[in-house]
Amino acid sequence: MTKAVSKPVSNPLSQEAREALRKAFGSRVQFDVPLAPWSAARLGGPADALLEVPSVKDLGSTAMWLWEHDMPFRVLGGGSNVLIADEGVDGVVLLNRAREARFFEVKGQPAVWAASGASFGALARRAVAKGLDGLTWAIGIPGTVGGAVVGNAGAFGGDVATSLLWADVLFPNGRVVRLDARGLGLGYRTSALKTGWLSGVVLAAAFRLHPADPEKLKARVAEINEQRRRSQPPGASLGSIFKNPPGEYAGRLIEMAGLKGTRAGGVMISPQHANFFINLGNGTAMDYAHLMCLVRRTVWQRLGVLLEPEIQLIGRWPEDVLSCLFDPLPVEPPALLLGGVAPPPEE
Ligand SMILES: Cc1cc2nc3c(=O)[nH]c(=O)nc-3n(C[C@H](O)[C@H](O)[C@H](O)COP(=O)(O)OP(=O)(O)OC[C@H]3O[C@@H](n4cnc5c(N)ncnc54)[C@H](O)[C@@H]3O)c2cc1C
């Protein structure tokens, strides 16, 4: 007999905590705010509290205040690599809008410094407009500099690890530590901040650049834009859902398992790129998780490859959903996750 999906463990902010937040931040703090508008997939439940931080200074002082008051919080950048639970998120969500950026030189070499809330793709475009290469690979990657550092974002042969000079990370003891790729533990779409091994807030980061032939840069940008246009489906999504296993593409495996076009509720595995799941408009985070579980189990059963999620699940998720997606071997999914999946349409 299959068991029903379990209830998520939840530890919402107390009334006292809400009062303390109101007193400290006044009308800047909002309560029980739906996060879907800040998710690239346009789904997810409410945050207990939401605070927008407009500058690096504000991001740092707000994080310190929350640590000192023992209130759980999470920084949200572009929301393009996180699946936010329908049941919402415990504690405070800091919407990072610290967007300052400056071009400078290190030992005669061009570089760029950016606040962690700056758009990473826009930063890459600004560098190209100045005739500078080094971040061109990042054109078209949604989200912020902070999110890119945490996930070691990468594309077209580049990644944060190879372009990063340093990231300034604030720790709960109030120290800001300047860390390079090694110090951050950057690996394929991961870091010590993503795994939780380090618990800090990325305040800003600097990237090395180098002068390049403007015509060649222009051609490279056109090539990258064209490749993204051809390979990536339009619509609300979180980009690649699973990491590519060594020497393989997750999308190819999902396609080989016959799952392209499969739907769960309002979310569909893209018929164009099987590692992209599209919210058709009325999708829920549980629909997303539903499809992820199905994909992980089917690819394992049919092809013997265990896929590892690239996206993070944040908020109030039931334990059995998390274990279905992250356990070293796929367990039998809870009943709720097995129902309501429509097979792909006939070719
Ligand atoms: C259409 C599409 C295409 C994509 N293409 C690519 C691609 O080519 N390559 C690629 O690597 N990714 C790609 N992605 C995934 C995503 O854009 C990247 O992972 C991106 O770097 C995430 O940044 P973000 O600001 O949206 O992070 P978020 O999703 O907001 O956050 C991700 C994680 O980082 C944490 N975080 C964010 N900011 C901070 C901070 N300042 N301090 C501490 N923690 C922080 C969050 O708490 C969360 O744990 C794509 C996504 C989409 C939707």
C-alpha 290 – ligand 1 centre gap (Å): 21
Q: Is 343 helix (H, G, I), strand (E, B) or coil?
A: coil
For residues 288-306, give the mean pLDDT. 92
Ligand 1 atom nearest the C-alpha of 116 is 41
Last residue of a domain, one of 81, 96, 111: 96
DSSP state of 172: T
Are 111 and 82 within one domain?
no
Tens-digit pLDDT profile for residues 141-166: 999 999 999 999 999 999 999 999 99
Instruction: Please indicate whether residue 240 is annotated as part of the active site.
Output: yes
Q: Give 73's pLDDT tier (boundaries 50, 70, 90).
A: very high
DSSP codes, 45-85: -EEEEEEEE-SHHHHHHHHHHHHHTT--EEEESSSSSEEE-
The whole domain housing 139 covers 101-229
A 10 A CB-CB count for 205 gives 29
The catalytically annotated residue of 39, 191, 237, 310 is: 310
Q: Is 127 helix (H, G, I), strand (E, B) or coil?
A: helix
Ligand 1 atom nearest the C-alpha of 74 is 47
The order of strands in the sheet holding 267-269 is: 277-279, 267-269, 263-264, 341-342
Distance CA 180, CA 209 (A): 16
- Please tell me the pTM assigned to this model: 0.94
Using CA positions, which residue lies closest to atom 6 of ligand 1? 141
Task: Specify the CATH number for the domain of residue 65.
Answer: 3.30.43.10
Q: How many domains does the chain have?
A: 3
Calculated CA dihedral for residues 140, 145, 148, 152, nearest 10 degrees? 120
Are 206 and 146 within one domain?
yes
Are 105 and 91 within one domain?
no
Are 182 and 274 within one domain?
no
Are 110 and 193 within one domain?
yes
The catalytically annotated residue of 39, 116, 163, 240 is: 240
Would you say residue 238 has pLDDT above 60?
A: yes
Instruction: Please indicate whether residue 310 is annotated as part of the active site.
Output: yes
Q: Is residue 46 part of a domain?
A: yes
Q: Identify which of 143, 141, 183 has the alpha carbon closest to the alpha carbon of residue 164.
A: 183
Lowest mean pLDDT across 52-61, 67-76, 236-245, 316-325? 316-325
Q: Give 1's pLDDT tier (boundaries 50, 70, 90).
A: very low
Are 282 and 336 within one domain?
yes
Instruction: Please indicate whether residue 68 is annotated as part of the active site.
Output: no
Ligand 1 atom nearest the C-alpha of 75 is 47
Are 39 and 79 within one domain?
yes
Q: Is residue 152 part of a domain?
A: yes
Are 328 and 272 within one domain?
yes
DSSP codes, 213-271: -HHHHHHHHHHHHHHHHHHSPPSB--S--BPPPTTS-HHHHHHHTT-TT-EETTEEE-S
